[in-house]
Amino acid sequence: MTKVKAVEAGLLSLDYVKEAAVISREEEASGEKCFVAYMVFASTFPPEIIELREDLKKILPDYMMPSYFIMLKKMPYTPTLKIDRQALPIPQKDRSELMTVYVAPVTELEKKLTKIWGEILRINKVGINDDFFDLGGNSALGIRLVAEVEKSVDIKLPMEAIIRFATVADMAKRITEQKGKEKKDNFSPQMPISSKEYKQMLTIIAGSKISAISPGYLMTGFNLNGYKNPIFWCAVNYEQHPKIAKYLGEDQPLYGIFSGSGIIWPSSMKMKNRRKVMERVAAHYLNEILKVKPDGPYILAGNCNGANLAAEIAFMLINAGKRVEALLLLESFDEILFEYPGKMALIYSKESDFKPYKPFIDWEEQGWEKKFVNSPKIYNIGGDHEEYFNEPYVIELAGLIEKFLNSNL
């Protein structure tokens, strides 16, 4: 089932929706794709948009939530009795779909911010309690908005500001607090990654064919309707996630995480400096993971330098008192893994020129297992370095992962 059909099915499952049509269209301002929902209600007393949104949130993940809801008296049909999607009206941004009452700006800062928001979102009337994403905002528009606010109020904002402070009132309050303190960054006491780095990461995902799970996020998602415990997979690019997700099957949800290699840190960076950057990237993704899944158990996986990031996140979760069910690492090893206390698999390609598995040839005879707090399971699979995402090796890899997750090690 396509995403469009899934959204339509979600709408039609609501008792008060008689007919529904959903289209995917490109936002004129940002170029990003969004869903537009058209509905004919079964009753002459339709629900408020706030009620519709809340009901849909129980059915659909955030990344599939329509940006526009358009109520029709009658659905247009073609002579062959199919919905005439070409005749559906073009959505217009206004306040009619918002769940908040309009509250006018009072302070000079609020007036300045509402003016900027209106220009970016192309809306004439923005209230201080209006939510950025409810107004049709998305990650691309968020980048422009934060840049304009920074320039206008002469203050440095983390890109996370548009997620954490998604109303003018909240943003104005935080800016006022920030300006009142000389050095302390009150937006994020321990800023995971810088605004520049965050923009670079967003650019990468915007340039790929894969969408983030929700506006402002860096994680992607696959098989999210599956019933199994999700895997959070750290890879060296966004194109690797759908390959393994396909063979793990639709019952296995997978969240894709980009390591930032070549963008935030080059491969030539010294390991000491690389680890510092990795810790900040891990801190950012930890925030996203906890928003998606506040409680454990968690499954972390990663390949190549993404494996180092996965291990870093796993340690952070454990230090935060969370339970990590399993850690799977491909084609990588770091001495910090000797201290890893949980269930872990180390997987290496037999023909890899990279050969990170060399120390583990006959590793039991060499006594390597004695160095680990908890002895890992070591696997060798066919193929060269990163060929494990291609057939036939990816089939072997998916089967191995399922076997390991179902084991009692």
Q: Which residue has the higher pLDDT, 284 or 352?
A: 284
- What are the tens digits of pLDDT across the range 120-133? 887 878 888 887 77
What residue spans define the domains of the chain? 3-92, 108-179, 195-200+207-405
The rounded mean pLDDT for the chain is: 80
CA pair distance 383, 380, nearest whole angstrom: 10
Residues 6+ apart with CB under 8 A from 353: 384, 385
Q: Which residue has the higher pLDDT, 28 or 168?
A: 168
Distances (CA, A) of 219 to 13, 17, 94, 237, 260: 28, 32, 30, 11, 12
**Three-state SS at 6:** helix
Average pLDDT score over residue span 379-396: 83
Assess whether pLDDT exceeds 50 at residue 184.
no
Average pLDDT score over residue span 138-165: 74
Q: 195-200+207-405, superfamily in CATH?
A: Alpha/Beta hydrolase fold, catalytic domain (3.40.50.1820)
Assess whether pLDDT exceeds 60 at residue 98.
no
Q: What's the CATH architecture for 108-179?
A: Orthogonal Bundle (1.10)
- What are the tens digits of pLDDT across the range 334-378? 778 888 889 999 888 877 665 555 554 445 455 566 677 788 888
Average pLDDT score over residue span 24-44: 76
CA pair distance 49, 52, nearest whole angstrom: 5
Q: Tell me the residue length of the chain.
A: 409
Which range of 92-106, 200-214, 291-305, 354-368 scores highest in mean pLDDT? It is 291-305
Residue type, 167: T
Specify the range with the lowest mean pLDDT, choosing from 63-72, 190-199, 327-336, 385-394. Answer: 190-199
Distances (CA, A) of 205 to 26, 175, 212, 217: 16, 28, 7, 10
CATH 3.30.300.30 assigned to domain 3-92? The reply is: yes
Residue in this structure with the two tokens 């402002």, named with its chain if needed: 216
Average pLDDT score over residue span 169-186: 68
Residue 234: half-sphere exposure toward Cβ, Cα within 13 Å: 31
Q: What DSSP state is assigned to residue 106?
A: -
Which range of 6-20, 66-80, 272-286 scores highest in mean pLDDT? It is 6-20
